[in-house]
């Protein structure tokens, strides 16, 4: 790995992911599948010889980071700037109910409105704190693994790359326990890989369902 690379890693699966429930800033733990994902991915990421691990302080991210710490012996530093986007009135609600009860705001959010209402954190604020978290985590001499969330990872990665809102809209969210790799390039950054995953055994993958990353 090139010195100064950032590995941005989304947390493992939770029961709320499985149920289609909006997590946002709610502190929800990993489920059995999420712990299996974290363990498998930690083995893959340990091979990259990381020099630092920085995580959101929410349990689903911190416990994902702990799996890598167990593999590498590195400490985990937490940073609240890496938390998931705050989803206001939607937090704790099933997305199907949100779609029905907040139809107008949901349509704005789906269309990419940066400030759709319902007390949801505006995208500009989310991106700014996410980018600040990535910059603070960055070790220019090594490889830093940053553990975050679907929405925050998406907007922080796009923000660090300097993408416009139009370009950012083309970037999908990371799957549970998937990761992206960014490397310094001159005064900016380059996206080297995105949405990489480690294989799980059949027993673990039997519970895995595709879930939208943002809000989770």
Q: What is the pTM of this model?
A: 0.92
Kindly report the number of other CB atoms within 10 A of residue 164's CB atom: 8
91: left (phi over 0), alpha (psi -120 to 50) or beta: beta
Domain boundaries, the chain: 6-205
Q: Residue 119 pLDDT more than 70?
A: yes
- 14 marked as binding residue: yes
**More confident: 102 or 212:** 102
Q: Residue 53 pLDDT more than 90?
A: yes
Residue 169, both tokens:
């809209």
Annotation: CATH topology of 6-205: Rossmann fold (3.40.50)
Average pLDDT of the chain, as a whole number: 93
- 12 marked as binding residue: yes
Which tens digits make up the pLDDT trace of 61-98? 999 999 999 999 999 999 999 999 999 999 999 999 99
- 13 marked as binding residue: yes
- Of the pLDDT bands very low, low, confident and very high (cuts 50, 70, 90), residue 2 is confident
- 60 marked as binding residue: yes
Walk across the sheet containing 76-78 and list its strands. 76-78, 52-55, 144-148, 6-10, 179-185, 188-196
Residue 208 is predicted with a pLDDT of: 43
- 11 marked as binding residue: yes
DSSP of the chain: --TT-EEEEE---BHHHHHTB--TT----B-HHHHHHHHHHHHHHHTT--SEEEE-SSHHHHHHHHHHHHHH---EEE-GGGSPPP-GGGTTSBHHHHHHHTHHHHHHHHTT-S--STTPPPHHHHHHHHHHHHHHH--TTS-EEEEE-HHHHHHHHHHHHT--HHHHTTPPPPPTT-EEEEEEETTEEEEEEEEE-----HHHHTT-----STT-
- Residue positions annotated with a catalytic role: 11, 84
186: left (phi over 0), alpha (psi -120 to 50) or beta: left
């Amino acid at each position: 790995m090139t010195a100064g690379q950032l590995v941005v890693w989304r947390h493992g699966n939770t029961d709320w992911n499985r149920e289609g429930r909006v997590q946002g800033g709610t502190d929800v733990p990993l489920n059995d599948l999420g712990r299996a994902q974290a363990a498998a991915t930690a083995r893959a990421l340990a091979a990259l010889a990381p020099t630092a691990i920085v995580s959101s302080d929410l349990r689903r991210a911190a416990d994902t980071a702990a799996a890598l710490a167990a593999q590498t012996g590195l400490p985990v530093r937490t940073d609240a700037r890496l938390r998931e986007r705050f989803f206001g009135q939607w937090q704790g609600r099933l997305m199907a109910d949100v779609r029905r009860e907040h139809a107008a705001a949901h349509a704005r959010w789906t269309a990419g409105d940066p400030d759709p209402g319902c007390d949801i954190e505006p995208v500009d604020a989310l991106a700014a704190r996410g980018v600040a978290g990535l910059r603070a985590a960055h070790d220019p001499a090594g490889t830093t693994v940053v553990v975050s969330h679907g929405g925050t990872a998406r907007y922080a990665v796009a923000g660090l790359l300097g993408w416009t809102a139009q370009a950012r809209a083309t970037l999908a969210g990371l799957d549970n326990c998937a990761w992206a790799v960014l490397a310094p390039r001159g005064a900016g950054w380059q996206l080297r890989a995105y949405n990489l995953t480690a294989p799980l055994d059949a027993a673990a993958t039997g519970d895995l369902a595709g879930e939208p990353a943002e809000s989770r």
